[in-house]
Chains A and B, each alone.
Chain A
Amino acid sequence: MKRSGSLRSYVITRVLLAFPMLLILLTVVFLLMRVAPGDPITAALGGRVSAEELARRRHDAGYDRPLPIQYLEYLRGVATLNLGTTILDNRPMTQVIAQNGAATLELSFFAMIVAMVSGVGIGLIAGRYRDTAADLGGRLFGIVLYAAPVFFLGFLAQLTFGKWLDWLPTSGQTSPIVGATLATHTNLLVIDTIIDRNWTAFQDVVRHLIMPSVVLGLVIGGVFIRLVRVNLLQTMKGDYVEAARARGVKEGRVVYKHAFKNALVPVITIMGLEFAVLLSGAVLTEETFNWPGIGSELVRYLDNRDYIAVQGIIVVTGIVVVIVSLAIDILNAWVDPRIRY
């Protein structure tokens, strides 16, 4: 009862704290975009018209209005859940979030599965067979993945599995022909093709998903390998493990039933932190694989100084990270009765 109350107050506090955090995030992004040199007009027409003409167009577009006025207008928009329309290509932000956000969600989801399967699996084997070739190989694999930039791994994968072996497509979410005929319901293409029972398109979508999700997943998985291995070794020294062994429980059962489950608790915590890493990794992965996610759109809008789009994407991403980390905290408290907030 006490624990339940503690968790509830923690959740309420976290939710309330999220608002000032998002306000700070909003303000910082707003100021950075305005303080940095350039604006959408200069990005689009600089080098084609005179400095006076640029100034006139900036004025017509309202980019030279006082910052506090622009800031208050923007805050009003966010408060009313109106994130505006992109300056670069006149897209409602809701459309950007729905279309490109779904592509990122799809990529991140499958990348997280790859990360968990590879990270936990290899970490478990490395910890179980400590100081063997499997352990050494697993650790080396984890360190290399952890250290390798995602775009570097991406290029290697593209060259190997795309260009040389010709097994997998190297870019995009679908092949052009399939993309041209595909009906979208949820913008999650795996789901959409299943809804339509369009198995040819399903295969195409899955084939396009494999390389980016595996590359991103392996990079994130590198952290899990090291974490699971260390935690497993730690828990294997625990009294309850010793007690299990003393009771004559088989070593395999000791590892998988007793030590492993407890070794996973810190992994859940790290998952929350890694989710933010996953999103930032998705930006680079999307750029590498021409994946039409929110990360690659962020880069495009940043290049064109599209204030509205950049602010909108960062705010939504910030909210998602807050929600996920809150969910992870709640999950942690639920999994581990010892945790108190």
Chain B
Amino acid sequence: MSRTFRVCAALAVLAVVVTSCKSNSSSAGGSTGPDTSATIVHGTTDSIVSLDPAGQYDLGSQQISAQIYDNLLVIPPGGNKPELSAAQACSYDNPTTYTCTLKPGLKFSDGSALTSADVAFSLKRNLEINDPNGACSLLNAINKPGADGCKWNPASISTPDDATVTFHLNAPDATWPFILTTTAAYIVPSDVFPETKEQPDDKVIGSGHYILEKYTPGQQVVLKPNPTWWGDPPANAGVIVQYFDKSSALKLALEQGDVDVGWRTFTPTDVEAMRGESSLQVLTGPGSEIRYLVFNESFPQGKELAVRKAVAMTVDRQAIVHDVYNDTVAPLWSMVPSALSGHVDAFKDLYGDAPDIAAATQTLKDAGITTPVPLEIWWTPTHYGDSSADEYAEIKRSLEASGLFTVSLKSTEWDAYITAALTDQYPQYELGWFPDYPDSDNYVYTFYSKSSFLNDHYSNPQIEKLLADERASTDQSQRDKDFEQIQKIGAQDVPVVPIWEGKQLAVARQGVTGVQQTLDVAYIFRYWLVGKSS
């Protein structure tokens, strides 16, 4: 018995010792200036598909790649237009020729020189590898004309010297500078990366702010500052990215101080709970993620303009934003988010910012449509988060409360859903969108072009002309006017109803600095700006 007692006592002591030895690595309280010797721990629910630019088209991979690689152009913090990064000058020679000159003395993190040949190689291999999970389709402007899928066109890029790269575009394309900021245009060293296959994730190198020091798939990424980076050094001594399966686990780790900053993605409930924590700061910035309702015009209800307009007038966006998302999102009044150049509140201007039942009733009456109009609306339960169910319950409520509609909500899981939605099987359905680059073209072209992936059978020649004009123009103010016009026509035609736009939202421990600066429409968490107060 005494031996048993001794064993129990020893175990109890061990338990006390182990539990009392809790490390306290969190920083709380703030003083002045960032402590550049501090390591930042970033928690996220994103995941990585590939760290080779040729194999990625997802936010999780892009987030880490943006730290490791450099682009000719980047979206600056708080901005929504490309600015020079590896390039010291870029301009259109004519609408189909775009030339960039590299900054002198650029180096990859292994010390080798970065030349125009590396830029050409990076884009070429992206097209040649043609990874089904990759973003080579973004390089359509230099793709081999007439090719089925991604194919390198040798005539598309010329490098007259080590510092100059000229892109010969297939057609006038004002979005090309934006494309050069994306994952498809990260610069990789031609003597390290294979030309026709992908580089192993743990062996990638670039010329960005950080070097990949360690990568444990699904668990952790460790980054340390790149000593060959051409710009200012980061506000920290390195970053550890910790991956979480669930928002709730990330929230607990933040509260415990195991994580300094959490970014992407918290549920509205978790955000609400963390707003009350004195050790945490909930920070928001403009976002570019949107949700919308699509009408397929091959179905009877979708074909009726009056029905589409009446729905746009009746949906209660404010109730969705407040009651479903706890104000973590904002009402969307155009298919272009409010932070982008050229945005106008087209739907608000046309239909008001609250449900207008009288106007909706009149619109349907004028069109001779008998009410209530039956609507079958499809949504998907998990792909867009757990709140989708509440969102569509609220849409049903507001539409039926008007007395003008009877709504039948139907749902199915994402894989079956998206295929059916895009192949004329659903009359009305929800979708969401993250931009490839923060330009209004990436929205208006996607949703209003007759070649839209939505396959909603909407087409308007006036919009087609405006889209061609904005793509051919290198004058941003003229493009903005075209975008405004497209949005106004889109609000009149209502092939899609904008519902809400996301806000960038991060939660940081008190004393963590620089987070607010990086919350913008580019959806890149710029680690080099984040520090801890000393």
Contact = CB atoms under 8 A, between A and B. Distances in A.
Determine if chain A interacts with chain B.
yes
A89 B23 contact: no
A158 B248 CA distance: 11
Given A158-B252, A167-B19, A287-B246, A172 B258 contact: yes
A140 B26 CA distance: 40
A290 B244 contact: yes
A39 B248 CA distance: 28
B245 A299 contact: yes
B220 A176 contact: yes
Interface in B412-426: 413-416, 418-419, 422-423
Contact of B47 (A39, A51, A61, A300): A300
Given A47-B432, A203-B21, A300-B47, A170 B217 contact: no
Interface string A165-181: 01111111101111110
Q: How many A residues touch the partner, as a band?
A: 35 or more
Interface residues of B, number: 62
Contacts of B49: 44, 88-89
7 contacts: A37-B413, A43-B415, A170-B256, A207-B21, A210-B15, A289-B249, A292-B219
Interface in B431-459: 431-434, 453, 455
B275 interface: no
Interface in A166-225: 166-173, 175-180, 203-204, 206-207, 210
Interface stretch (A8-16, A52-60, A124-132, A272-280): A52-60
B256 A47 contact: no
B245 A296 contact: yes
Interface in A289-321: 289-290, 292, 296-297, 299-300, 305
B18 A203 contact: yes
B216 interface: yes
Contacts of B148: 56
A105 to B, nearest CB: 16
Contact of B217 (A89, A288, A289, A296): A89
Nearest to A173: B219
Given A58-B132, A206-B18, A169 B246 contact: no
B57 A44 contact: yes
Contacts of A56: 148-149
Contact of A292 (B218, B222, B258): B218
B218 A300 contact: yes
Q: Which one of B133, B222, B248 has the highest number of Cβ atoms from chain A below 10 Å of its Cβ? A: B133
Nearest to A179: B220
A100 B218 contact: yes
B272 interface: no
A38 B416 contact: yes
A80 interface: no
Interface in B129-154: 130, 132-133, 137, 148-149
A42 interface: yes
Nearest to A178: B23
A207 B22 contact: yes
B329 to A, nearest CB: 18
A261 interface: no
Interface string B42-53: 000001111000
Contact of B201 (A49, A60, A90): A90
Nearest to B55: A90
Nearest to A165: B19
A51 B455 contact: yes
Contacts of A300: 47, 218, 245
B22 A176 contact: no
Contacts of B418: 42, 46-47
Given A175-B23, A204-B23, 9 more contacts: A89-B47, A162-B256, A170-B256, A173-B219, A176-B259, A203-B21, A206-B18, A287-B246, A296-B245
A290 B249 contact: yes
Contacts of B219: 172-173, 179, 292
B410 interface: no
A56 B132 CA distance: 9
Contacts of B200: 90
Contact of A169 (B133, B149, B201, B258): B258
